[in-house]
A and B are shown apart, each in its own frame.
Chain A
């Protein structure tokens, strides 16, 4: 145990990179460069980077707005445009921002309008409507890559070829808009950076296996995750993860643990309640509970089980587009979580379900029941929202979390007395 206050260098560096991304957008589009909006699930930013597009992400802007506590105003703007209260809060945040009175102006910079919008549609049909609404607003082309749902354990070869074909069809679209010829070598180079970045990211998250874990892979990991999304396919992203690993090594060597000690090891599932994330984190840290692993940052934009490498660029891109966690069937998600729970030796699972994100939240109650009742892993189900703070009720949230830890404490005591086998 130690209580050394250590500057979180990985956090600072990540924030600087995010800041820089938005400052670059704010500086405006120079020369003949074009802007493409991409969505994070099944992201294939590398293709557009190879054509020198400026790449940005409506979801990341919604997350950033939520973390900066401006999402509720944007959501109100979105609702005034006619989007109902139950619609995805990211959508309302983004459309409120881009189509509402602010016209893309955020406290962290102005978001330029898109010249092209591309979605890799896997798992969330809201993406389609969101992209279409943006396309209507800015009168720009919207391209949809239809990614079949992963019904079995892995994607079928047939589906893989289908996705790859659609990505290849984007080449003439990109050539025409960007005025540049497709350069396969450049794409391979970018994908090589992606592949290296993914390996580093995975390595970083593996440190959660240590006891105690040198960092909270959920509450700290969500900040470390940003370059993976915003900058994947760049040297900056790769270098960031190398230095993050060096920094975490420093923590390991000094015996640092994020909350001074580690009483509980947790597996988190679901996107955090961004606008209240600090408060949410403290509800766990006061019990010295560390998120040693999770599904959200582990899978977002860093597909697991990738089958191909940069030498086969379109197969690699198709694999990235298809292996999104959001696109997995429930059984596969459940199995993945069971493996994580075992490998990271967790004491319990916490599922944070988002009211306005139906596609991803559906089935989480069944998951809870399965883990708690059949797999005998204490599981806490919480619900609020990803971006809408109106759904976050502090007292109720704290109450559920305290109850969970009281039960876990009792369970640990009984186990240490030998009254429980598992």
Chain B
């Protein structure tokens, strides 16, 4: 049996294929762009190639994310909140609180030991402090995302970025550049500013160990570290955090009980 999860977010579309034992067989990730159906096909193709199988080998396809309604391939769907909960409890079984930071949305989720959502909170309509800003960052600071992602917060002297709004924060960054500040220190400030938004959302649902950080933004080491410092809890995070929603969708596909 092969179950496929497709997470169509505002920035990226992620695909994960798992077998009946929940072992990941293939993954794919592409920019969502304007044509969500095409993005989902491309992400799926990548994952199928990695899993070395064909589309008709898939038993079930489960969609999640904003574009879930746009996937012609999916058999069922669920919100990304539920999928991040299911994906997190599988990836980090001790998870009880999750922060998912995606392209435009951010959610704090409290779950029980089965991965059921007990409470959640999301950012309001303004996407200040979400992944959108992070996407623009390489151009603003002139550093590739891969490099930004691996910067160690401890090795920087973070400058103060007071604005959560991407537009104003960009102006602050440019000001710092004009004053000859080092890019690492500016980025340290950006990490803390983004983490602060996440921390306040987490406080809204109440923090309980273990805390798991998911979504595209969670790949940035410096933000995960800043978050951990701010909330004074250890944080599970890793390079595969971006796939947790799709993984959760794939696992949900294996479960018959939920009719979402």
Contacts from A to B (Cβ < 8 Å):
365, 369, 372-373, 378, 381, 383-384, 391, 393, 395-396, 399-400, 402-404, 406-407, 409-411, 413-414
Contact = CB atoms under 8 A, between A and B. Distances in A.
B93 interface: no
B79 A406 contact: yes
B103 to A, nearest CB: 13
Interface in B114-167: 114, 116-122, 124-125
Given A383-B124, A393-B125, 11 more contacts: A372-B205, A383-B125, A395-B66, A396-B125, A399-B79, A402-B260, A403-B82, A403-B117, A406-B79, A407-B118, A409-B260
B257 interface: yes
Nearest to B123: A396
Contacts of A407: 81-82, 116-118, 120
A365 B124 CA distance: 12
Contacts of A369: 204
B206 A373 contact: yes
B66 A406 contact: no
B219 to A, nearest CB: 22
Contacts of B125: 383-384, 391, 393, 396
B179 interface: no
Contacts of A406: 78-79, 81-82, 117, 258, 260
B105 interface: yes
6 contacts: A369-B204, A378-B119, A396-B105, A399-B122, A409-B260, A410-B116
B119 A400 contact: no
A197 to B, nearest CB: 39
Contacts of B118: 407
A276 to B, nearest CB: 14
B202 to A, nearest CB: 13
Contacts of B260: 402, 406, 409
Contacts of A403: 79, 81-82, 117, 120
Contacts of A384: 125
B41 to A, nearest CB: 21
Contacts of B258: 406, 409-410
Among A373, A391, A399, the most chain B Cβ lie within 10 Å of the Cβ of A399
Nearest to A353: B124
Nearest to B121: A381
B121 to A, nearest CB: 7
Nearest to A397: B125
A410 B111 CA distance: 11
Contacts of B82: 403, 406-407
A365 B122 CA distance: 12
B13 to A, nearest CB: 16
A402 B116 contact: no
A73 to B, nearest CB: 21
Among A365, A396, A399, A410, the most chain B Cβ lie within 10 Å of the Cβ of A410
B124 A372 contact: no
Interface in B83-114: 105, 114
A404 B206 CA distance: 17
Nearest to B252: A406
A399 B66 contact: yes
Nearest to A395: B66
A400 B257 contact: no
A395 B70 CA distance: 12
A365 B116 contact: no
A407 B118 CA distance: 7
A391 B78 CA distance: 25
Contacts of A372: 119, 205
Nearest to B81: A403
B88 to A, nearest CB: 15
A20 to B, nearest CB: 38
Given A391-B125, A403-B120, A406-B117, A413 B257 contact: yes
A411 B116 contact: yes
B107 to A, nearest CB: 8
A414 B204 contact: no
A400 B81 CA distance: 9
Interface string B165-176: 000000000000
A379 B80 CA distance: 18
A289 to B, nearest CB: 14
B201 to A, nearest CB: 11
Nearest to B109: A403
A98 B126 CA distance: 31
A101 B120 CA distance: 45
Nearest to B120: A403
A395 B259 CA distance: 21
Nearest to B259: A409
A309 B246 CA distance: 62
A251 to B, nearest CB: 28
Interface string B190-205: 0000000000000011
A94 B200 CA distance: 37
A393 B10 CA distance: 14
A411 B258 CA distance: 12
Interface string B241-260: 00000000000000001111
B204 A410 contact: no
Contact of B79 (A381, A402, A411, A414): A402
B177 to A, nearest CB: 31
